[in-house]
Structure 1
Amino acid sequence: MSDKTQLEIHLQQDIDKIKSKIKEMGVLAETALNNSFSAFLNNNGKLAYSVILLDRKIDELEKEIDHLCLEFLIRQHPAASLLRFVYASIKVNLELERVGDYAESVARRSLVVNSLNVDIDFSQFEAINKASVSMLNNSIQAFINQDKDLAATTMLEQREVSRLRDKINDYLFVLASSKKIPITAFTPLQTIARRLERVADQSKNICEETLYMCTGENIKHLKTKTFKILFVDDDNANTSQIAEAIGNALNLENFVFSSAGINSENITDTTIKLLNDKGHDTTNHISKLVENLPNLNNYQVIISLSEASQKIYPQPPTKTISIQWEINQIEGDPNAKYNFLNKNINELVQAILGEEN
């Protein structure tokens, strides 16, 4: 048997070992995620603690895989596709370790929520968990089998998971404002939904690494930045709701429009009628408080629609751009207000797109 054949045999053995360990890591992460959600859903403290303890094993395996990849680099001196394989393996290993961390976080929050005897409809939580676990499983299979088509298809599911997370947040805001859940349960429930969404984000990252491994193209360098724009007024019952509806009606893939108020009041009948007359769906519109938004620095642009709402601007240093729109003179004319907001939102979007180009 030639030396070249021996080298090829050892090379394939090293590749298979790394793939096997990543597959094992994926099974552990997926098991932890399933168990943490089961503990949350079924009020199972024992299962929650087992997930918390399992995280150490995931961390140890992450270090082992990292060591294997380093050994591969030193021993094989890979180039081209093999170099992309080991680079992607290192990144996928890190993504799976983070999924383990998110599973542990869900388990810890489940202990808090279950101690409060929260009795609500968990169907939306079940939906986001199912979608996130499915993405995780498919992303691992895509990497192990070097299936670029499965990776590309799986990535598309992330937007649905984000939609489910937003739906859960709206649901929790309604429950909290109507005092159907204790305030101490609000943040843990919101965190559980956010962690499950992050699992989908990590799964998307795994798919991106798979595409890089298979094609040599780093899709992260090709992605367009997402712009998050927040409209704020006094009560989130009128003007800011109209602005949010106009923004989202543009259906721009890389823009997310939201609204909130210094206080939270029911959306006015006049606002609902105006939006319906303009062809906007108001089914999912609810009033939200600024103080319940996780981090205002996550928004690229915050637009103040009242004098009081200027007080919520993030303090320097911040990359958030703060803008005030004066609408006092047209406050009593719904159609004039709508036209003003429509014109300014479109001009802002065009300016942002122009900067990107």
Structure 2
Amino acid sequence: MDTLNFTKHISQQFNAELTHVRTQVLTMGGLVEQQLTSAIQAMHQQDATLAKEVIANDAKVNQMEVEIDEDCVRMIAKRQPTASDLRFIMAIIKTISELERIGDVANKISETALEKFSQQHQPLLVSLESLGRHAVQMLHDVLDAFARMDVDAAIRIYHEDKKIDKEYEAVIRQLITYMMEDSRTIPSVLTAMFCARSIERIGDRCQNICEFIFYFVKGQDFRHLSADKIDKILGHHSEDSEE
């Protein structure tokens, strides 16, 4: 399903409401993506001004979640949607919750950036930036898939989390080595580990959004299923299974 079509309803107002709430989700997603990008940049460059800007903008993300959620509840009460319309609204409610949590990660990373790593600890930030860029790309891709409710794209993105997990594990090994070689780095390393874990969790949240896309298009709940089980249901063969 490459595009969404809201022209099927007798009520043009309902079409307009669905289109509006979809646009709002994508707007919120764009803001969260920018927040995350800026937070990682602020951490890597130790940019206090940018970090404070991200922290200040977190309130906007929270407000958008509340407004979209209220719009969805209003539509459910007023329109009493069924079938795909109800699934779409539920997918939106769940997606904005995930986006708000990703926004929280950006906020926490920015707060960490304000703590200031010393110059000799800069290597800690390089690996975190690479992991962060990977997470930002995954978020960008899943928002694009959500805009089109593209199941094929969502499946590819779902499997991308394995790469983020491997990269996260490599970062943790590097940080542990760094800490063992110089005990004075322990506070900074622990802070970097916290950031790495927060970034890794973004991959999991993007996976959740993929599951909401599957749910809307296929009408089936895919939560708590293994990747292999999801592939089997959706008729997809992952690269891992082919190797």
TM, length-normalised to structure 1: 0.59
1:208-228 residue CA offsets vs partner (Å, 9 max, x unmatched)? 10110111121114338xxxx
In the other structure, the counterpart of 2:47 is 44
In the other structure, the counterpart of 1:281 is none
Rounded Cα–Cα distance in structure 1 between residues aligned with 2:9 and 2:131: 48
In the other structure, the counterpart of 2:155 is 152
In the other structure, the counterpart of 2:203 is 200
CA contact (8 A) 2:51 2:110 kept: yes
Which of 96, 105, 124 lines up with 1:102 in the alignment?
A: 105
In the other structure, the counterpart of 1:191 is 194
Rounded Cα–Cα distance in structure 2 between residues aligned with 1:53 and 1:27: 16
Rounded Cα–Cα distance in structure 2 between residues aligned with 1:115 and 1:163: 25
- Give the gaps of 5 or more residues in structure 2: 1-6, 228-239
Structure ranking higher in helix proportion: 2
CA contact (8 A) 1:132 1:196 kept: yes
Rounded Cα–Cα distance in structure 2 between residues aligned with 1:143 and 1:25: 13
Q: CA deviation at 1:126?
A: 2.7
Write out aligned runs for 1:29-178 (5 A): 29-112=32-115, 114-117=116-119, 118-120=121-123, 122-178=125-181
Q: CA deviation at 1:198?
A: 1.0
Q: CA deviation at 1:180?
A: 7.4
Rounded Cα–Cα distance in structure 2 between residues aligned with 1:205 and 1:83: 18
Write out aligned runs for 1:183-262 (5 A): 183-223=186-226
- Aligned length in residues: 222
Structure ranking higher in strand proportion: 1
Report the residue type matching 1:55 in the other structure.
D
Rounded Cα–Cα distance in structure 1 between residues aligned with 2:219 and 2:109: 35
Does the C-alpha gap of structure 1 residues 188 and 121 become closer, same or farther in structure 2, counting only changes over 3 Å? closer
Q: Using the aligned pairs only, state the percent identity.
A: 27
Q: CA deviation at 1:116?
A: 3.2
Does the C-alpha gap of structure 1 residues 56 and 170 become closer, same or farther in structure 2, counting only changes over 3 Å? same
Rounded Cα–Cα distance in structure 1 between residues aligned with 2:128 and 2:84: 40
RMSD: 2.1
Does the C-alpha gap of structure 1 residues 106 and 15 become closer, same or farther in structure 2, counting only changes over 3 Å? same
- Give the gaps of 5 or more residues in structure 1: 225-252, 254-357
Report the residue type matching 1:111 in the other structure.
L
TM, length-normalised to structure 2: 0.86
Rounded Cα–Cα distance in structure 2 between residues aligned with 1:72 and 1:169: 45
Q: Which is higher, the Rg of structure 1 or of structure 2?
A: 1
